[in-house]
Chain A
Amino acid sequence: MEITGSRLLLAVLEAHGIDSVFGYPGGAIMPFYDALLHGGLTHYLVRHEQGAAFAAGAYARTTGRLGVCVSTSGPGATNLVTGLLDAMMDSAPVLAITGQVRSALMGSDGFQEADVVGITSPCTKFNALVTRAADIPATVEKAIRIATSGRPGPVLVDVTTDALKERLTWDAPLTRSAERSGYGEGGRAPELNIAATEAIAALARAERPVIIVGGGTRIAGVVQEFRRLAALIGAPVVATLNGLGTADPSDARYLGMFGMHGHKGANLAVTRADCMLALGVRFDDRVTGDVSKFGRNATVIHCDIDPSEIGKIIHVDVPVVGDLRETIAVLTEVAQVATMPSYEPWLAEVAALKRPLPPARHENGELSATDVLDALAALMEPGTVVTTDVGQHQMWAAQRVRLESSRDFLTSAGLGAMGFGLPAAVGAQVARPGDTVVAILGDGGFQMTMHELATIRRYELPIKIVVMDNRHLGMVRQWQELFYERRIVATDLYDNPEFCTLASAYGIASTRVDRPEDLHRALREMLDSSGAFLLHCACFPTENCFPMVPAGRHIDEMLERTSA
């Protein structure tokens, strides 16, 4: 069969079950877009390539399947970089397809030429340049296999225009590369049984154990399996930002998020623990605080699929390397026959450590951001997907939103990329068309990618957009107030646009709420709307996010209010 490189690329994607891609066309990738006319892929036209990468990352996070983004060469490809690094930091399987100038131009500083493979090497698991159509299937299959195996991550295939246009005869079947969850050959490694036995023995010897649940559990899709294991062990549970939603929120032993803006009880429990079972956690500095003091008196059991994480940040006593699904299964088997202590004195101590979040501040009858999020959290149905941007609202949401699944909370955790929330909501809504998707955004982050309102409008995505407008880059302002002697520099967004007018320009329904007494009605109006809806919450600007551990301090050194 005679076929072009573009049609072959399309056929490989379809053979891998890919049905949705997010992208933006341009010169070098035009042959691929031309081929889209003949394929079964649905292409979602974003308004900036960064939005395509974020949408693909969110699609991957909320489904566990590969997300795909497409761009042209040069600036199109470089605009993907932040989204690719975000996917790298949070281990999301994303495939980026980029067009490249024709082979004869490469290295000549041609129009829209960039060394995309060089630029994206540190922010992809794998990348490759393809200059011959015949190499497209094997390269894309390899890229998909690497993106989805082991610790997932982004991959990029850069294809020259001449390879996309090249006609060739192709009769070989296009098969889906075998999906494997781990790096190994499959099956249970004997070392896993030994390590799991050691881990459960360490927990049984402990008097004050804590289970730390991280983003690896979301990737492994082990919500029920984890909850069964946690119940068997009977220890208190805390979560990282990416681990939210895995633990049972109604379990009295669940203490919530820990770390820089963690719940006080969670931070104190981790500090006092004599044994930690860490599942899919990479011990980011935002959770360890002063790493020299973190886990100093605890036996640390670290379970992760990525051996490079073991011992990278903190000393590990019991390493357990393997796919978390398999690891949790083995730990459960061992725990079922082990005699576990009741930990009663410790559970009583932990129960006494639990503290409600600091109450909202109210200034002159203005709207408080934490009141908005408390009210929103109370009204959202289970199964609602929440995306956030980065900053105060992200931490307030993480502290408050009650999640039934780890795939319901999508945030740029590791990279902390502002502008993530709105395009992430696009990706989530495409992936889960039957579910409610709520994008909780700050006024700063929203304005980084607000052009994706056009994407939402075009595809009639019924996303609920909550813009928490405190007319500041709130988290930076908070740091300026607390750690830079109140020198407020370049964080005042006093000249924000009128967001409802903006929504109206894109044909999206909206309402603005300024007063606490109008909040419930406005939230209800948004959640009851059938289409996309923007809720502009005009909040007072000086509310701070607490608790807060100052950077570099131990996680039990929490600020709970602004000092006078």
Chain B
Amino acid sequence: MSERLELPLRDQRALAKVLAALTRTGCTATSVRASFGDSYSAVITIEGPALNLRRLSALITRLLSTHQEEYR
């Protein structure tokens, strides 16, 4: 299965955490595009089995929750 994620990130460390989570859950990033202008954002295309993607999704949800809290 493949998923395309647009991540509203604020810094590169958050992107590094997301990429680390990919390895932990056995998923593969087939493309990563990061841009830094007024804000930092990333678009990642991910492949992996459905169960792995579900676990990755949970990890990213948690990372983004804390990330948003960090910039409140």
Contact partner of B70 (CB less than 8 A), chosen from A122, A142, A306, A307, is A142
Contact partner of B69 (CB less than 8 A), chosen from A149, A309, A312, is A149
Contact partner of B55 (CB less than 8 A), chosen from A146, A149, A306, A312, is A312
Q: Which residues of B contact A126 (CB under 8 A)?
A: 66, 69-70
B43 within 8 A of A: no
Q: Is the CB of B66 within 8 A of A308?
A: no
Contacts A126-B70, A146-B70, A312-B55; is A307 near B20 (CB within 8 Å)? no
The interface of chain B, by Cβ under 8 A from chain A, is 13, 16-17, 20, 24, 54-55, 57-59, 61-62, 65-66, 68-70
Q: Which residues of B contact A312 (CB under 8 A)?
A: 54-55, 58
- Interface residues as binary, A147-175 with B (CB distance below 8 Å gives 1, 0 otherwise): 00111000000000000000000000000
Q: In the complex, A145 Cα to B68 Cα: how many Å? A: 13
Q: In the complex, A417 Cα to B54 Cα: how many Å? A: 27
A111 within 8 A of B: no
Q: Is the CB of A309 within 8 A of B58?
A: yes
Q: Which residues of A contact B62 (CB under 8 A)?
A: 151, 306, 308
Q: Which residues of A contact B69 (CB under 8 A)?
A: 126, 145-146, 149-150, 183
A218 within 8 A of B: no
Q: Which residues of B contact A183 (CB under 8 A)?
A: 65, 68-69
Size bin of chain A's contact surface: 10 to 19
**Beyond the given A306-B65, A311-B54, A312-B58, could you list 12 further A-B residue pairs with CB under 8 A, ordered by the A residue number?**
A121-B20, A122-B17, A122-B24, A146-B66, A146-B70, A149-B69, A150-B65, A183-B69, A306-B62, A307-B65, A308-B59, A308-B61
Q: How many A-B residue pairs have CB under 8 A?
A: 40
Q: Which residue of chain A has its CB nearest to the CB of B17?
A: A121
Q: In the complex, A125 Cα to B55 Cα: how many Å? A: 18
- Interface residues as binary, A113-157 with B (CB distance below 8 Å gives 1, 0 otherwise): 000000001100110000000000000001001100111000000
Q: In the complex, A150 Cα to B55 Cα: how many Å? A: 20
A477 nearest CB across to chain B (Å): 31
Q: Is the CB of B20 within 8 A of A308?
A: no
Q: In the complex, A269 Cα to B11 Cα: how many Å? A: 48
Q: Which residue of chain A has its CB nearest to the CB of B13?
A: A121
Q: Which residue of chain A has its CB nearest to the CB of B65?
A: A183
A54 nearest CB across to chain B (Å): 23
